[in-house]
Amino acid sequence: MKAYIYLENGTFIEAKSFGAEDTVVGEIVFNTSMSGYQEIMSDPSYAGQFVTFTMPEIGNVGVNEQDMESSKAHAKGMLVRKYQARYSSFRAEESLESFLIKHNIMGICDIDTRFLTKMIRKEGAMMMVASTTISDRNELKNILENSPRIEDVNYIEQVSTKIIYKHERSTYSNTEFKYDETPITQANIAVIDFGVKRNILNEIVSAGIGVEVIPNSFKAEDLIKSYKSKIIDGVFLSNGPGDPLVLKREQEQIKKLIDAKIPMFGICLGHQLLSISHGYDTFKLKFGHHGGNHPVKNEKTGLVEITAQNHNYNVPNNIIEIADVTHTNLFDNTIEGLKYKDSPIFSVQHHPEASPGPKESQYIFCEFLSLIKR
């Protein structure tokens, strides 16, 4: 089936569809990862976005439940050069096409992804509309112009859990632990779910930390009470989609946690929310960081870690007034990690759970446990 794309810079493209049939509006970004398309599509942080994959062959290993980063796919759609309907992997349970249709996600192929990527690099991330039913350029333009932009939508309300639950799986186990397999729990934390990835929870458990996941509608007073009663030893602020500046209620609650001197660790959106809650607003990058090959320098050790990234927003440089920079992105020298000077709080912009290698970043989760113990 044909698919039609209209971007806000006026570009109109005809391609083919291999996913759900629909008309969808979202922000287009590109991802430079060589593998992991299923993890990317099921990462809640991609809610509201179309992902252009620079890897030309997509679909060749199929899809399986074990590699899901959440309960469903969250991206608006994916754009690929060539879709491989015939998959080959002993772990595969279904094709990427059937996965996309099941989750009502658009898949667009036979498109020049190199052209799209270069355009995004030059002009920046932008809004687009894709359709399998509307081929008229002017009609698509009208739909796009009358749709909300990604920064106008609070996607956290869509992706955050609605119930409180415990997570008891680790990175090295596909099922819940038996008693003799469980890591020794040395601390307990509350994970505030803004769109948390399952493997982040797995890594926290693997570090020896007990996890209770709570909705984004949390009340700081409840967490402060639990901390003083020694029910929890700290708070983790998760990754998530969208513009952190729109999350006014969450910012106010985090400010209360900061004032209470509760040990906290944030990743990606959590990293940004900590900056804003300290009074330093984030800014939007031209085309963001999306991929599994971003070199980040650890300012303490001097080592370079190859990291996975997925964000369009960044903390400002003047935050060094209240925090020490622990990690720096070597692509553009933006801040990738912070340790706050007068608070038991630190955060990173990249995803230490994603394991792109070769210099891994999982040690950061153990640093959180060390902070809690101190």
- Residue numbers annotated as active site: 268, 351, 353
DSSP 8-state symbol, 179: T
Entry field: residues in the chain: 374
What is the spatial distance between Cα 205 and Cα 196, in angstroms, rounded to a whole number?
14
Query: Tokens for 189?
Result: 């934390």
Query: Tokens for 231?
Result: 């029910």
Say if CB 216 and CB 223 are below 8 A apart: no
Look-up of token digits 């946690």: 257
Amino acid at 230: K
Q: How many CA atoms lie within 13 A of 220 on its CB side?
A: 16
Phi, psi of 114 (to 5 degrees): -65, -45
Angle CA(72)–CA(76)–CA(79) in degrees, nearest 5? 110
Neighbours of 184 (CB within 10 A): 5
Say if CB 150 and CB 196 are below 8 A apart: no
What is the spatial distance between Cα 349 and Cα 340, in angstroms, rounded to a whole number?
14
3-state secondary structure of 142: helix
For residue 358, say if its preceding peptide bond is cis, omega within 30 degrees of 0.
yes
Say if CB 78 and CB 56 are below 8 A apart: no
Say if CB 169 and CB 176 are below 8 A apart: yes
The b/e string for 298-332 (b: 16+ C-beta within 10 A; e otherwise) is beeeeeebbbbbbbbbbbeeebeeebebbbbbeee
Look-up of token digits 């999350």: 247
